[in-house]
Amino acid sequence: MTPIKLIDSNYSGEEALAVIHELISEKINFLDRKMFSNAERGLPFEHFKTRRDDLNRIREGLKAVTPFNEGESYNISCEIVVNKVAEKNKIA
């Protein structure tokens, strides 16, 4: 599949941090919904929980480890690549 260019823009420091924070937050929300759905259906959800916890840690530490300065511009580029996986590796 052709890669999807999700983000390719320049941002101020505050905007760059907000864009990254929002992307991570949306993924966390998605994982929360998947966990709830799987729990309701009696399906495993540990992978989703582990990934959500990892992303929470990343999001919380983002400001401390990412030195965005308001007077500077930052380019954010985010590409999504989709690859088909074998059925046995499929996650519920």
Which residues are registered as beta bridge partners of 14?
none
How many alpha carbons fall within 13 Å on the CB side of residue 45?
17
SS3 45: coil
Parse the chain into domains and list their residue ranges.
4-89
Q: What is the pLDDT of residues 15-56, one digit of tens each?
A: 999 999 999 999 999 999 999 999 999 999 999 999 999 999
Distance, in Å, from the CA atom of 21 to the CA atom of 55, rounded to the nearest integer, reads 10
> What pLDDT shows up at residue 90?
58
Greater pLDDT, 65 or 51? 51
Residue 11: is its pLDDT beyond 90? yes
User: CA 25, 31, 34, 38 torsion: positive or negative?
Assistant: negative
If you average pLDDT over every residue of the chain, what do you get? 90
Q: Which band of pLDDT confidence, cut at 50, 70 and 90, is reported for residue 69?
A: confident
